[in-house]
Amino acid sequence: MGISEPLETNNVISGAIEAPRYSCALAGAYSTAVGIFGVVPILHSGAGCGIGQLFGQFYGGGQNAGGPYGGTSTPCSSLVEEHVIFGGEKKLESLIESTVELVNGELFAVISGCVPSLIGDDVGAVIRRYKEKNPEIPIIHVNTSGFAGTSYEGYEYFFDSVIDQLLEEKVPKEKGLVNVFGIVPFQHIFWKGEARTIKTLLEKIGLKANLIVGEFDALENLKKIPAAEYNIVLSSWVGHETAKKLEGKFDTPYISFPGVPIGPKQTSEFLRVIGERLDVSADVIEYLISSEERRAYRFAEYVGDVLLIARPHPYFAVVADSNSAVSITKYLANEMGYLPDIVQITDNPPEEARELINEELTTGLETPAWPEIIYEVDAYRIRENLKDRNFMFLLASSLETFISGPEFNAIHLTVSFPSYDRIILERSYAGFSGGLTLMEDVMSKYAGPL
Amino acid sequence: MSGTELTENELIEERIDLSRNTCPNREQRANGINVWYGKASDLAKEARSGCLRQRERNFQQSSGCVLNFYLSVRIGTIRDAVAIYHAPVGCSSAALGYRELYRHIPVELGRPANFDLHWMTTNLRERDVVYGAGEKLREAIKEAERRYNPKAIFVLTSCTSGIIGEDIEGTVSQVQPEIKATIVPIHCEGSRSRLVQTGYDAFWHAVLKYLVKKPEKKQKDLVNVASMLSYTWQDRLEIKRLLGKVGLRVNFVPEFASVEQFEQLSEAAVTAPLCPTYTDYLARGLKQEYGIPYFLYPSPMGVAHTDEWLREIGRHTGKEREIEALIKEEHEKWLPKLKAIRQEFENFKGNGEKVEVLGALGQGRLLAQVPYFDELGLKSSAAMCQDFDNLILKDLEKLIAQMGDFDILVNTFQAAEQTHITNQRDPDIAMTCPFQGGAFKRDKGVTRVHALRSDAHPWSAQSGYTGAIAFGNFLLQSLKSHSYQRTMKEKTQSTYKDWWYKQPNSLYYLKAEE
C-alpha cells in the first residue's frame, strides 16, 4: 500500500501550479448561484470575471452554456481604473437597482471579487442601505474574492451568506425534511443528475429531500433549510463548514458520506445509514433495496461477455476530485472487478478529510490491490505520476483526453472536471442504476464485435 | 455637435513607444468606446469631430476584460512557450481547455503531430496580497524553465497583481539572467481598460518589445497574418492555398505559432489583416521599427474583398500579375456558386424583399461582413458592434459611402441590449456570438457569427473564396432551422421582464450625463 505524503501539510497550496482543476472562490460562489434556479448572481468585479468563468466553470463543467443568469447574462459592475481610485460602491448601487427592476428572479446574490476586496469597498453597507429602502427584495452579499480560496470554498461562502443573511430565525422542524450539501454545481460535472437521483431515492423512503442545487424555487428551498431534521453531506469535506454552521445556528445534526453513492452496494449502504439515523422503517428501506438491486444486477448480467472477454480485470487509474474519485474507484473495484492502480485527488481536501479518503480507498475496497493515493493539483505532476504504470483505463478529466492513448496507452473517459469533451446535461452515475451508466460509458470506449 | 474635424493625428495616437512597459489603452490611443446607439453616419461624425465620449451604464453585464476575453484562452496556444498568469487561480480558468483546443485538427491538415502547450498560475492568495508576490513569480518562472525549457515565458498580469503594485518589470529583469527563455511581461490587468481590444494591443506591445528580432535577412515571399481563434483552421488553409499559388508563404501569429515565428515577424514582406482592429498595433509597430509595409483594409471576407486583399498583398510582394491571374481563375470556379446562393436568398421571401440579417460583431468584422452580406444579396440595416474606435473611422466612412447608412448598437456582449435590439428589429437571421444570454430565443433564424475554435471542418470556413461560399451556404441553412430557438422561446422564462421588450430604447440604462 502506498499513500504518498501530501505535498502540503496545511490546506493552502502556496506555490505556482499548472492548470489546477478548479477556479477561484468567486467562481465557486458564482457557479453555486447559477446552479440554483431562480438566484440572480450580481458580480461586483471586473468585467471579465463572468465570461472567464463561462469558459472556466460552465464550459469546463460539461460544456454547459451560461443559461439565463450565467456568462454574459450575468449582471456585473465591470470595475475599471476609475473605480479602483474612487471606489465602486455607487456603481454597485445602481447595478442592484437596475437588476431588480429588469431581471426576473427570486433571490439576488451580490458576489464580490478581487477589486472591491482590495480597494476596500464597503459592499455590506451598500446592501444594508438597499435593504432598508426595499425590505421586500431578497438580497444577500457573498463577501469573497478570487484570492480567498478555490471554487469549493466559494460554494461554502455562498451558503455561509445564505445562512447569515437570509435565514433569520429558528423555524419549527419539519418531519422527514433533509437538506443535502456537498454537490458543487459545475465542479462536480454530474451535479444535476446526481441531485435529481438523490432526491428521488430519499423520496422513495418517505423523506422530503431539499437538494437546492439543480432545482427551481430557489428562495423557497433556501428558506426551508432551517426546518430540516437532518443535513446530509455527500462529500468528505465540501459542505462540512455549511453543515457545522447549521448545526450551531439551528441545531440541525448532520451526517456525511465520502461522495455521491454509485451503484447498488454504495447506494444500499447510504440508504441503510440514512434510515437508521432518521428513523425510517427498515422494511421500507430493505424493500426498496431488494427491488432496485434485483433490477440493477439483472441488467449487469448483460455486460458479462464484453467485460470478461474483451477487457477482464484491468488495472485502472483515476484523476478526480475526492467525491468522484472515492465513489468511482469503489464501484469499479467492488462491483466490476477492476484493479485500482493509482488514484490522484485533485481538489486539495483538508488534512482531516484525507484520512477518511485514504481509508475509503484502501480498507473500503474488496480487492487486495490497493491503489497508490496521491493528492495533487498540478497538471504537470499529475501527468508525471501517470507514467510507467500498468493501468489500462484512465478515468480522469478532459485534460487527459488526448494524452491518455499516446502517453499511457490507456482507454480514457472523462468523469471529472474539467469536461470539455463531454456534454453533461442530466447524466450521472448516482444511485442503483448509475453504475450501469458508468459501465456503458467505460465499455463503449472499446466495445466492438466479440 | 461642433463643426470641427480632427486631423488623423488627433484621432489616433500614431506612435508606438516601445520604451514603455505597455501600450496606451484604446481609450487614449484611438478614443475607443463601447456604448452607443444610432446611425452609423452620426457615429462617424461624432468621432470625426472629437465629441464621441464613453458613457456609463446603470445596468451592465459581464462582457470580458483585458485579460479574460481573449488573452487567457489564446496565449496558452503559443508553442514552445509557457504562459504564467500572475493572478488568483480564477483568472486563468478559461485556459483549462489548452490541451484540447488544437487536438481536434487532424495531422493530415497540417497540425504538428508533436506539440505541447503549457500554462501556470501563481495562484495569488490572501498572504500574497498582503506581503507581495515577486518571489512567487520568480519561482514560477524558474519552475516553468525547469519543466519545459521553453523559448519564451509570457507573464500575464491581473487586477490583483496591478492593484497590489507588483513590480513585474523589476522581477523579470532580476530573474532574466538566470533564465534561457525570453521572458515577456504582458500588462493585461482586467481593470486597466473598458475595452477588451486594449488586451490585443498590450499583447502586441510585449511581442514587439521582447520577441521580434532584428531582421537577419528579408524574406520577400513571407506574409504576416495575425489570425484570431474566431477564424478557423480552414481559413488558414484557404489563405495558405491562395498565397501558395502565387509562391508566397504565410506567417500566422499568434495562435498556435512557434516562438520563432514571432522572431521572424520583422523579416516579412508585408503584414496583412484578417481583422484590422486586432492587427493594427502589430502592423504599425512592425512598420515603425522595421519598415514592414502593412494594410488594414479590407479583410479577405467575401469575393470582392478577397480580390482586394490579394491585390494589396500582390502590390507589396511584386506579384501583381500572378495575383490577377489567380483572381481570374478563382472567379471562374466560385462566382457561379455565389450566384446560386444569391438567387436562393433573393427568392427566399417570394415577394422580392431581401432577407434581413443582424450581426453582432467586432468592429473589424463589421467592416468585412456588412459588404459581404450585400454580396450575398442580404440586407443589413443594423449591426451590433463590440466596440468602436478611431482606428476604423476612415474605413467606416468609406463603408457608409459605399453601402448607405445603417444603425449601429455599440456594446460589448451586453446581452440585455442585444436581446432588445434583436426583438425590436426582428431580422430574418440574427447572428450572435454563442454566449449571448437569451438573444437566441426567437421565431426566426439564429446562427453563430463565426466558428469559435480551431474548427477544421470545411463547412465552418469564412475567409477567402471557399469561405465566402461556405459561409453563404451556412447562412442559408440557418434560415431553414428554427425549432430549437422557437421552442426555447415558448417554453422557457425570459431573463428580462416584459416591460423591457415593450419600451423602445435598447440603451434604456444609459446613465444620464452628470
Domain regions of chain A by residue span: 22-165, 177-296, 302-443
Residue of A13, A46, A76 with shortest CB distance to B191? A46
Residues 389-448 of B with CB under 8 A from A: 412-416, 434-438
Residue of A47, A97, A102 with shortest CB distance to B64? A47
Residue A14 has pLDDT above 70, yes or no: no
Q: Beta strand pairing status for B270-273 and B222-227?
A: parallel
3-state secondary structure B352-386: CCCEEEEEEECHHHHHHHHHHHHHCCEECCEEEEC
pLDDT averaged per 10 residues, chain B (length 514): 69 94 97 96 96 95 94 93 98 96 92 93 95 95 96 98 97 98 98 96 98 97 90 93 98 96 98 94 98 96 97 98 98 98 96 91 86 94 92 94 94 93 93 77 87 83 96 94 93 96 96 83
Whether A177-296 shares its CATH topology with A302-443 is answered: yes
Residue A8 has pLDDT above 50, yes or no: no
Q: Are residues B453 and B334 in the same domain?
A: yes
pLDDT at res. A3: 35
Q: Are residues B202 and B325 in the same domain?
A: no
Nearest chain B Cα distance for residue A339, angstroms: 28
Provide the edge-to-edge strand list for the sheet that holds A107-112. Answer: A39-44, A107-112, A139-143
B219 in any annotated domain:
no
The CATH number of A302-443 is: 3.40.50.1980
Q: Are B77 and B255 in contact (CB under 8 A)?
A: yes
Residue of A56, A80, A102 with shortest CB distance to B94? A56
User: Is B235 an 8 Å CB contact of chain A?
Assistant: no
Residue of B60, B125, B163 with shortest CB distance to A76? B60
CA–CA separation, A282 and A84 (whole Å): 61
Q: Do B68 and A26 touch (CB under 8 A)?
A: no
Please list every residue in chain B whose beta carbon sits closer than 8 Å to the beta carbon of residue A421: 100
Residue of A84, A91, A147 with shortest CB distance to B125? A147
Q: Are residues B198 and B80 in the same domain?
A: yes
Q: Are B495 and B438 in contact (CB under 8 A)?
A: yes
Please give the radius of gyration of chain A, using alpha carbons only, rounded to the nearest integer.
22
User: Is B89 an 8 Å CB contact of chain A?
Assistant: yes
pLDDT at res. B8: 75
b/e for B493-509, b at 16 or more Cβ within 10 A?
ebbbeeebeeeeebbbb
What are the CA-CA distances from residue B27 to residues A32, A362, B72, B201 (Å)?
35, 60, 21, 12
Please list every residue in chain A whose beta carbon sits closer than 8 Å to the beta carbon of residue B419: none
Q: Do B61 and A74 touch (CB under 8 A)?
A: yes
Q: Do B99 and A402 touch (CB under 8 A)?
A: yes
Q: Do A16 and B140 touch (CB under 8 A)?
A: yes
Residue of A12, A98, A399 with shortest CB distance to B509? A98
- Interface with A, mutate which of B69, B82, B89, B118 (most A CBs under 10 A): B89
B224 in any annotated domain:
no
How many beta carbons lie within 10 A of that of residue A134, not counting itself? 13
Q: Are B186 and B157 in contact (CB under 8 A)?
A: yes
Please list every residue in chain A whose beta carbon sits closer than 8 Å to the beta carbon of residue B72: 48, 52, 55
CA–CA separation, B35 and B12 (whole Å): 19
- The pLDDT of A34-53, averaged and rounded, is 97
User: Is B119 an 8 Å CB contact of chain A?
Assistant: yes
pLDDT at res. B448: 86
Residue of B62, B92, B191 with shortest CB distance to A74? B62
CA–CA separation, B461 and B332 (whole Å): 20
What are the CA-CA distances from residue A307 to residues A394, B89, B109 (Å)?
16, 41, 37
Q: Are A297 and A264 in contact (CB under 8 A)?
A: yes
Please list every residue in chain B whose beta carbon sits closer than 8 Å to the beta carbon of residue A103: 495-497
pLDDT at res. A229: 97
- Interface with A, mutate which of B22, B61, B107 (most A CBs under 10 A): B61
Q: Do A401 and B100 touch (CB under 8 A)?
A: yes
- The pLDDT of A357-385, averaged and rounded, is 96
| Location of C-alpha cell 521599427 | B289
B32 in any annotated domain:
no
pLDDT at res. B418: 92
- Interface with B, mutate which of A14, A18, A53 (most B CBs under 10 A): A18
Q: Are residues B349 and B484 in the same domain?
A: yes
pLDDT at res. B2: 46
Residue A6 has pLDDT above 60, yes or no: no
- Is residue B294 within a helix (H) or strand (E), and if so which, with residue range? none
Residue of A60, A103, A114 with shortest CB distance to B495? A103
Residue A12 has pLDDT above 80, yes or no: no
Output the average pLDDT for chain A.
95
In the 8-state DSSP scheme, what is residue B431? Answer: E
Can you read off the three cell numbers belonging to residue A410?
Answer: 490507456
Distant-in-sequence contacts of B350-357, Cβ < 8 A, 24+ apart? B354/B378, B354/B379, B355/B379, B355/B428, B355/B429, B355/B479, B356/B380, B356/B381, B356/B425, B356/B427, B356/B428, B356/B429, B357/B427, B357/B428, B357/B429, B357/B430, B357/B431, B357/B475
User: Is B509 an 8 Å CB contact of chain A?
Assistant: yes
Q: Do B493 and A68 touch (CB under 8 A)?
A: yes
B400's CB contacts (< 8 A; 6+ apart) are: B40, B41, B44, B406
CA–CA separation, B78 and B96 (whole Å): 14
pTM metric for this prediction: 0.97
Nearest chain B Cα distance for residue A142, angstroms: 16
Please list every residue in chain B whose beta carbon sits closer than 8 Å to the beta carbon of residue A377: none
- The pLDDT of A230-236, averaged and rounded, is 98
Q: Are B28 and B22 in contact (CB under 8 A)?
A: no
Residues 260-279 of B with CB under 8 A from A: none
CA–CA separation, B399 and B396 (whole Å): 5
How many beta carbons lie within 10 A of that of residue A50, not counting itself? 36
Give the CATH number for residue B412: 3.40.50
Q: B224 pairs with which residues across the strands? A: B251, B271
The CATH number of A22-165 is: 3.40.50.1980
Nearest chain B Cα distance for residue A286, angstroms: 40
Q: Do B435 and A94 touch (CB under 8 A)?
A: no
Q: A179 pairs with which residues across the strands? A: A210, A231
CA–CA separation, B418 and B431 (whole Å): 11
Please list every residue in chain A whose beta carbon sits closer than 8 Å to the beta carbon of residue B88: 24, 114, 145-147
User: Is B64 an 8 Å CB contact of chain A?
Assistant: yes
Q: Beta strand pairing status for A230-233 and B152-156?
A: unpaired
Give me the amino acid identity at A199: K
Nearest chain A Cα distance for residue B65, angstroms: 4
How many beta carbons lie within 10 A of that of residue A435, not counting itself? 29
For B82, the closest chain A residue by CA position comes to A18
Nearest to B230 by CA among B206, B250, B195, B255: B255
Split into its structural domains, chain B has a count of: 2
Residue of B191, B192, B495 with shortest CB distance to A68? B495
Domain endpoint, select from B192, B211, B230: B211
User: Is B61 an 8 Å CB contact of chain A?
Assistant: yes
Can you read off the three cell numbers belonging to residue A83?
Answer: 473605480
Nearest chain A Cα distance for residue B345, angstroms: 31
B327 in any annotated domain:
yes
Q: Do A17 and B120 touch (CB under 8 A)?
A: yes
pLDDT at res. B5: 81
Q: A393 pairs with which residues across the strands? A: A316, A411
Q: How many CB pairs under 8 A join A and B?
A: 264
pLDDT at res. A155: 98
Nearest to B413 by CA among A48, A101, A100, A67: A48
- The pLDDT of A198-207, averaged and rounded, is 98
B27 in any annotated domain:
no
Q: A233 pairs with which residues across the strands? A: A181, A256
Helices (H) and strands (E) in chain A, counts: 18, 13
Assess whether the previous peptide bond of B293 is cis (omega < 30° from 0): no
Report which of residues B321 and A367 the model is more confident about. B321
CATH class of the domain comprising A177-296: alpha beta
CA–CA separation, A336 and A442 (whole Å): 11
Q: Are residues B456 and B327 in the same domain?
A: yes
Find the DSSP H helices in B254-362.
Answer: 259-263, 276-290, 303-317, 320-348
Please list every residue in chain A whose beta carbon sits closer than 8 Å to the beta carbon of residue B413: 51, 72
CA–CA separation, B49 and B331 (whole Å): 41
B279 in any annotated domain:
no
Residues listed for chain A:
450
A36's CB contacts (< 8 A; 6+ apart) are: A185, A212, A213, A215, A218, A221, A222
Residue A13 has pLDDT above 90, yes or no: no
3-class secondary-structure state, position A42:
strand
Find the domain containing B406 and state its range.
319-502
Residue A357 has pLDDT above 50, yes or no: yes
B474 in any annotated domain:
yes
Assess whether the previous peptide bond of B298 is cis (omega < 30° from 0): yes
- Interface with A, mutate which of B28, B77, B85, B96 (most A CBs under 10 A): B96
A99 burial class (0-12, 13-18, 19+ CB within 10 angstroms)? buried
